[in-house]
Amino acid sequence: MFWGDIKEKTMIEAAQLCCWTWCFGIKVLSIYEAEDINLNPGNLKQNANSLQSHINNISRQFFIHEKIVPKIRVTALDTSINYAHFENKDLNKSGKFKSDDLDIAELDRRLIPKFSEPQLIIFFSPNIDIDGFPPWHIHLTELFHVPENYNFDYSIFLQGLRKYSKCDQRFGR
């Protein structure tokens, strides 16, 4: 999910988004923070972890008699994280290989567990702008945006899910 001018947004909206996502059975939610939201650094990430934990605990109460309890994984991302540099630094520390040995396949293998490729991106912003989002993670992603609507709204979320459910994804040979 993308929020453009996030300064006006609150953690309540992030909690709403987590609940909507969980109710629809979506297992992974990534909230991408494209701009500084005047919160303490890491606050969005801490709250995302708290939201994930809270929703997963509550789901156990609702699904007492079920063998499989739906869970959600909430990830908070922002423009300040350079995933490639982070991974390269970790690999060099271990002494396994040099930075010249790092290729796209290896980088992909190491980044996917930390940040999976989204299937749908819903923009809650005036325009479509991935603004620092890692481009190699969206090559098969459906993008949804309503240009005339600038608000974070349940109806936009539903429209995005409906459009995604009707999309025809064709993969090359």
Location of structure tokens 């001018």: 5
Vertex 123 angle, CA 147 and 168, to 5°: 90
Convert the pLDDT of each residue in 81-136 to its tens digit.
555 554 555 555 555 656 666 677 776 676 665 666 788 888 777 778 777 776 66
Maximum CA pair distance of the chain? 53
Q: What local confidence, expressed as pLDDT, does residue 108 receive?
A: 67
Q: Are 129 and 31 in contact (CB under 8 A)?
A: no
Q: What local confidence, expressed as pLDDT, does residue 120 receive?
A: 84
Convert the pLDDT of each residue in 21-47 to its tens digit.
888 888 888 777 665 544 444 566 667
Question: What is the rounded distance in angstroms from the CA atom of residue 44 to the CA atom of residue 28?
Answer: 16
Vertex 149 angle, CA 42 and 132, to 5°: 35
Give, for 156, the enclosing helix (H) or strand (E): helix 154-166
Residue 50 corresponds to which amino acid? Answer: S
Q: What local confidence, expressed as pLDDT, does residue 94 receive?
A: 59
Give, for 2, the enclosing helix (H) or strand (E): strand 2-3
Residue 117 corresponds to which amino acid? Answer: E
